[in-house]
Structure 1
């Protein structure tokens, strides 16, 4: 299913940036609470967009800078070097999926995974979907990274990147 580029309307303005599946419950897929988002901001008048259900809450550049205590230049450099996953919306807004932030820092093992995924397809939206969607066995790759299973996630990324590239 091709959902196109994500739209900026699925930004959740409040969220627990320290939430980690290994330390606490994560909202069920598609259960993000939009009640605190003004209707004019939320996509489709308050309805959850398909990308919101897949990617979950996202930071804007300014909110990510605040969380990471980093400059806009540092965030841009990290995204350019694939140390940070950046999504570009159809209307030109940079968004950063919140699932990659743990304890006020970007997950340190994200870069090798993104590099491998890029070798198969150069599409950050696909990478975000790959990282945050349950696989056939119910495992979510970003959760595996959070649990420290880096080698397994990189291996899985390599297999899928090879299939995408074929």
Structure 2
């Protein structure tokens, strides 16, 4: 869906580089690469594979926006990592934390149609104020709810509640 959204937008094709991080079955990666080639965006698409540690931090730091289109994402850890890095995000309705992030003003949510995704990405690319606002809210939301410190405190509180009732 992301490949098709970028391919059908003259603006995205001319103004963006598409960095795709993550791994998967070799046949699936080959299929996606062929799709990018057929769609005419192979020259602006970079296949990063699995990234972690300093490489992941540098990749997030270099990005302007983060996009996670998914039919069914059981949580969205990559989106949380992007928000912790202060990236404005476009998440599809299939990402489990999408509505929570939207309610916090921390992400733009889009439907699963290619045109919906394209419009959401273009809106962020065109609107500096929106990107800055989402960046600030994304960082605050993710730190409050999903940082190591806040998750650790929630876990301690959970166990203390269990101990009190035992």
- Note whether the superposition's TM-score is higher than 0.5: no
Q: Which structure would you say has the larger Rg?
A: 2
TM-score bracket, shorter-length normalisation: under 0.3
Select the structure that is richer in helix.
Answer: 2
Higher relative contact order (CA 8 A, sep 6+): 1
Taking structure 1 as the reference length, the TM-score comes to 0.28
Taking structure 2 as the reference length, the TM-score comes to 0.28
